[in-house]
Every structure is written in structure tokens, then in C-alpha cells.
Amino acid sequence: MRFRECAEEDLRDGRYNSVAFFAQQAAEFLFKGMLIKLTGSRQLTHAVSELLGYLGKALGRSVSEGVGRCAEALEAHYVQARCPDARLSGCRGWEAEEAVKCMDAVWRYVREVAGGLA
């Protein structure tokens, strides 16, 4: 939950590179926590789209295309925020806003499909 709060706070304060990083971390840890709760094991990946697939499979639910695209976008934001040479310029405001929107979409999906588990 703290990563989510950090992403939202940094968006308000214009710290766009960290927004992208924290939004991805919020999704990654949400998925890992849910997978541990459901399966008793932790997946060894940082790929949010892969974790989303594992979660959908564990719950026996399909993943919407929109949520899948958001997971992939969060991965791209994460790599660019962590690896300064992955892009020529810093994260822009609209990209940070997209990262937060995708983070929120992922959280809504988990609440919807996991019910009382989330």
C-alpha cells in the first residue's frame, strides 16, 4: 500500500520518474501478495504482466485486455525509471499520470476478481 501512496504523492509533487517506479512496485507487490495468499508460493519475476497472468490462472479468471495492457505499460515505466540509459529524457507528466491510472486499474481488477481476499 505504501508504494501506491508514494506514486500518488510524487505525481502531485511532479516527481515523475519515481511515480513510474512506485506505480509498478505497487502492482508487483499486490500480485505477489495475492499469489502467496492463494498458492503459498512466490513467483520470482518482476514482470507485472506475467504476475497478472499467474493471478488470473490461480483465480480461474480471464484478464481483460485493458488490464493486461496496463500491466505491460507499468513494466515499461519501471524499466525506464530504473535504467537511466533506457530513454533519452525523463518521465513526462502524462506518462506518470498513465502509470497511476494503470496502477489503479490493476488494483480495481484485483478487488473485483479476488473479492474478500484483497
pLDDT in tens, 11-64: 999 999 899 899 999 999 999 999 999 999 988 898 999 999 999 999 998 889
Please give the radius of gyration of the chain, using alpha carbons only, rounded to the nearest integer. 14
Per-residue H/E/C for 72-95 = HHHHHHHHHHHCHHHCCCCCCHHH
Rounded mean pLDDT, 1-20: 93
Cell of 3: 508504494
Rounded mean pLDDT, 87-107: 88
- The residues near 36 (Cβ < 8 Å, ≥ 6 apart) are 42
Q: What is the pLDDT of residue 42?
A: 86
Q: What is the pLDDT of residue 40?
A: 93
Separation of alpha carbons 23 and 25, rounded Å: 5
Which residue's C-alpha cell is 505477489? 32
Give the residue numbers spanning the domain of 35.
Answer: 2-117
- The residues near 58 (Cβ < 8 Å, ≥ 6 apart) are 34, 35, 38, 39
Name which residue leads in pLDDT, 88 or 21: 21
Say which amino acid occupies 9.
E
Separation of alpha carbons 71 and 102, rounded Å: 7
The model carries a pTM of 0.89
Tally of domains within the chain? 1
Q: What is the pLDDT of residue 105?
A: 95
Is the model's pLDDT at 99 over the cut of 90?
yes
